[in-house]
Chain A
Amino acid sequence: MLDLLKNQLLFSGLLIAVLMGAINLGVAYCTFYERKISAWIQNREGPNRVGFFGLFWGFHFWGYGQPMADGLKFLLKEEMIPDKADKPLYVMAPAISFIVSTIGIAVIPWGGYLDIDADGIVDVACQVANPDIGLLYVLGVGSLGVYGVVLGAWASNNKYSLFGGIRAAAQMLSYEIPLGLAILVVVLSCGEVRLENIVRAQIEGGGTWNVFVHPLAFFLLFVTQLAETNRAPFDMAESEQELVGGFHTEYGALKFALFFLSEYTHMIINSAFLCVLFLGGWHFPWIPGLGLEDTAWWAVLAKMAMLGTKIAGCVFVYMWIRWTLPRFRFDQLMRLAWKGLIPTGLGLVALAVVMTYFGIPGSESVWPKLIWGLGGNAAVLFMVVLVVGMSPAGVTGRQANMPPISLLSPAKRVPRADQGTAN
């Protein structure tokens, strides 16, 4: 039985089964925690009634049965397809969305290498697949994520859905670029595109995770991932106050649930990716048993638990941001990407190139990395803030045609600033 598990293919199959179950359960409880966290931030109680179908003598378990009840409701609701919708695409869109957001789990290194029979020889990698292009695979799968939203929006045959889809497409195209630049910084400083080796590079360099060397790149990746998952403050695609529900206005029952699940799955996978690239993956200093040489089954389980804890922390920050920051206006969103994030990303890539030229990432000691990295990041940040602060506030298309607010009321008639003529 144990010999069977030494086959990487069978082990990967087992891992897929375990991960799919774990992630689906995690997604269900993410929806619950989203509501609990929003309640906490807004000083409410949140869902606290639903138990497990009256089992356990009616004890409600602080509302922990809520995700089960929600799932059951989604299953039992009537499936509806609008009459004028494009039926094949309308049905396919949620499935595409869910599949694309799920297949990213394949290349995440969940727990390093595993030595099943404790004979000192590594048997399998605790990873579904470890292709040479692991990082690019994540990038490619992420770039396909927009299709589900766009097709669902178009197939619904609804103007509000269409607006949501168009916004999502423009937003994702713009935020792919800073995402790629942030990833490039990691590739340059680790010299690797294989995710397992990126974790290894962070551990071997004196335990300096990339976030300590390149904090701005971490921030850049986090912001672009918020935009890629359509989470607030970047949820232009579904902004409820303007577009009813955005791209999923016409969806209900299980098809809507698939869109919902894919958003949360995307969050979890993106957080895992962020942890692997910048937060040292399954590594944590000062805790024995999480090192590169620990390959026993319990060490691998501990590593998976450590990565899971980090992912939970990232997901918490996602939710915290959603219930704290208001939504961007669309021109602000575009200006942030093209005039803020992309120049910053280019500066960071240049910094990483200079550091690589002087051989900083390969140095044994921690200090050159920290001094170069933090100093360079401070310099890039200073320059960006200087340029942004000195440039005039952006005025776009329609805004240029609008008079200042005070001119609209005849009582407070003041000269227009841009014309400079008093009357």
Chain B
Amino acid sequence: MNASLPYLIYALFAVGGAGIYLALPRSGRSTAVPGSILGLAAVGMFVAVVAKYALPSEGAGFSYLFSAMALIGAGRVVTHPKAVYCVLYFVLVIISVSMLLVLQGAEFLAIALIVVYAGAILVTYAFVLMLSQQSASVPGDVRSREPFLAVLAGFFTMACIAGQVGDLPLAAAPSSEQVIRLAQHGEADQAVMPEMMVDGNTAAMGAALMTKYVVTLETTGVLLLVALVGAMAVAKKRVPIEESPDPEKPLGQVGREAAPF
């Protein structure tokens, strides 16, 4: 294992962070173009480093493709000046990451990610943005606050994670077939089904969730239920029935007789 590898990765993160900092929307002269070039260069070099040190594995090309899509999309989420486009780039990130999960053999997780995030949460974001921003954005919205501190915090988080890379054996991740073979729970169907159609581990995952991790699962369910009840309690508002301002006249009549301006 190359001892200088973590420092190389830190350097790449620094370059990428500088790119993000320059590309963040700001008042005054835009530096989005040099920032984007710097960021893309960092992503390209990062892919090259990973390709050099990782052992070849099945589906590696797709893996690089979706990783690059996810990284560039994530960069655009924070740097795009229009909020609706940010939401769309977020959807792109979700889809790319779920494709990476499919490549790792975690199909259930991939689809759950799409259903929960892209299908429900981000639609709610889009809903709110549509209500708030029909026309052009106001200047206060398109200027990022504290860009330098944000980039710095991101750099340290990423560096903490990547610092572990030196300790990890950079072997090829188990191919999806190996994962499936580990998780497979019965081979009765193989005789009937064609070769390509056999893979899958959703049933094994369901069994694990309902046996080994059942307490965790149920606790999460109770937590969500409490959150639901709390949301109802906060959101519920009794609209008082308005009394007629003039008790001699029926409701509604006062409004009809009032002058328009």
Q: Which residues of A contact B (CB under 8 A)?
A: 8-9, 86, 89, 113, 122-125, 130-133, 136-137, 139-140, 142-144, 146-147, 150-151, 153-154, 157, 159, 162, 165-166, 169-170, 172-173, 176, 193-194, 197, 397-398, 400-401, 403, 407-408, 410, 413, 416, 418
Confirm or deny: B53 has a beta carbon within 8 angstroms of a beta carbon on chain A. Answer: no
- Count residues on chain B whose CB falls below 8 Å from chain A CBs: 43
User: Are B119 and A150 touching (Cβ within 8 A)?
Assistant: no
Among B118, B123, B131, contact of A172 (Cβ-Cβ < 8 Å): B123
Confirm or deny: B202 has a beta carbon within 8 angstroms of a beta carbon on chain A. Answer: yes
Tell me which residues across on chain B come within 8 A of A89, comparing CB atoms: 84-85, 88
CB closest chain-B residue, reference A88: B85
Q: How far apart are the CA atoms of A133 and B110 in the complex, in Å?
A: 10
Tell me which residues across on chain A come within 8 A of B112, comparing CB atoms: 136
User: Are A125 and B193 touching (Cβ within 8 A)?
Assistant: yes
Tell me which residues across on chain A come within 8 A of B241, comparing CB atoms: 400-401, 418
Among A123, A150, A408, A418, contact of B126 (Cβ-Cβ < 8 Å): A150
Among A144, A162, A408, contact of B114 (Cβ-Cβ < 8 Å): A144
Q: How far apart are the CA atoms of A157 and B84 in the complex, in Å?
A: 13
Q: Measured between C-beta atoms, what is the minimum distance from A47 to chain B in Å?
A: 37
In chain B between 39 and 74, which residues have their CB closer than 8 angstroms to a CB of chain A? none
Total A-B contacts with CB atoms under 8 angstroms apart: 127
Confirm or deny: B196 has a beta carbon within 8 angstroms of a beta carbon on chain A. Answer: yes
Contact with A along B190-214 (1 / 0, CB 8 A): 0011111101111100000000000
Given A8-B194, A162-B130; 5 other pairs, CB 8 A cutoff = A131-B107, A132-B108, A133-B108, A398-B239, A413-B250
Q: How far apart are the CA atoms of A410 and B256 in the complex, in Å?
A: 12
User: Are B194 and A124 touching (Cβ within 8 A)?
Assistant: yes
Given A125-B194, A132-B199, A401-B242, A166 contacting B127 (CB threshold 8 A): yes
List 24 interface pairs A-B (beta carbons < 8 Å), by A numbering: A8-B195, A8-B197, A89-B84, A113-B194, A122-B193, A125-B194, A130-B197, A132-B201, A132-B203, A133-B107, A140-B111, A142-B119, A143-B115, A144-B114, A151-B88, A166-B130, A169-B123, A173-B120, A173-B123, A173-B124, A400-B239, A400-B241, A407-B251, A408-B250
Q: How far apart are the CA atoms of A410 and B108 in the complex, in Å?
A: 64
> Lowest 3 A-B CB distances belong to which pairs?
A132-B200, A143-B119, A403-B251
User: Are B194 and A162 touching (Cβ within 8 A)?
Assistant: no
User: Are B120 and A401 touching (Cβ within 8 A)?
Assistant: no
Confirm or deny: B253 has a beta carbon within 8 angstroms of a beta carbon on chain A. Answer: yes
User: Are B120 and A176 touching (Cβ within 8 A)?
Assistant: yes
Q: Measured between C-beta atoms, what is the minimum distance from A392 to chain B in Å?
A: 15
User: Are A123 and B194 touching (Cβ within 8 A)?
Assistant: yes
Q: Measured between C-beta atoms, what is the minimum distance from A10 to chain B in Å?
A: 11
Given A125-B194, A162-B134, A166-B127, A410 contacting B250 (CB threshold 8 A): yes
Among A137, A151, A197, contact of B111 (Cβ-Cβ < 8 Å): A137
Q: How far apart are the CA atoms of A121 and B120 in the complex, in Å?
A: 44
Tell me which residues across on chain B come within 8 A of A165, comparing CB atoms: 130
User: Are B114 and A140 touching (Cβ within 8 A)?
Assistant: yes
Q: For the complex, would chain A's binding face be called helix, strand, loop or mixed by DSSP majority? A: helix
User: Are B130 and A153 touching (Cβ within 8 A)?
Assistant: yes
Tell me which residues across on chain B come within 8 A of A136, comparing CB atoms: 108, 111-112, 115, 202
Tell me which residues across on chain B come within 8 A of A133, comparing CB atoms: 107-108, 110-111, 200, 202
User: Are A410 and B118 touching (Cβ within 8 A)?
Assistant: no
Among B107, B129, B239, B253, contact of A397 (Cβ-Cβ < 8 Å): B239
Q: Measured between C-beta atoms, what is the minimum distance from B146 to chain A in Å?
A: 28
Confirm or deny: B28 has a beta carbon within 8 angstroms of a beta carbon on chain A. Answer: no
Tell me which residues across on chain A come within 8 A of B134, comparing CB atoms: 154, 157, 159, 162
User: Are A154 and B130 touching (Cβ within 8 A)?
Assistant: yes
Confirm or deny: B252 has a beta carbon within 8 angstroms of a beta carbon on chain A. Answer: yes
Q: Measured between C-beta atoms, what is the minimum distance from B228 to chain A in Å?
A: 12
Most B CB within 10 A of own CB, among A86, A122, A144: A144
User: Are A176 and B119 touching (Cβ within 8 A)?
Assistant: yes
Given A125-B193, A144-B118, A172-B123, A403 contacting B130 (CB threshold 8 A): no
Given A139-B115, A154-B130, A418-B241, A132 contacting B194 (CB threshold 8 A): no
CB closest chain-A residue, reference B105: A132
Q: Measured between C-beta atoms, what is the minimum distance from B229 to chain A in Å?
A: 14
Q: How far apart are the CA atoms of A157 and B110 in the complex, in Å?
A: 34
Confirm or deny: B100 has a beta carbon within 8 angstroms of a beta carbon on chain A. Answer: no
Most A CB within 10 A of own CB, among B118, B129, B197: B197
Given A401-B241, A407-B252, A132 contacting B107 (CB threshold 8 A): yes
Q: How far apart are the CA atoms of A194 and B198 in the complex, in Å?
A: 11
User: Are A140 and B115 touching (Cβ within 8 A)?
Assistant: yes
User: Are A8 and B196 touching (Cβ within 8 A)?
Assistant: yes
Confirm or deny: B164 has a beta carbon within 8 angstroms of a beta carbon on chain A. Answer: no
Confirm or deny: B4 has a beta carbon within 8 angstroms of a beta carbon on chain A. Answer: no
Q: How far apart are the CA atoms of A154 and B124 in the complex, in Å?
A: 14
Most A CB within 10 A of own CB, among B123, B239, B241: B123
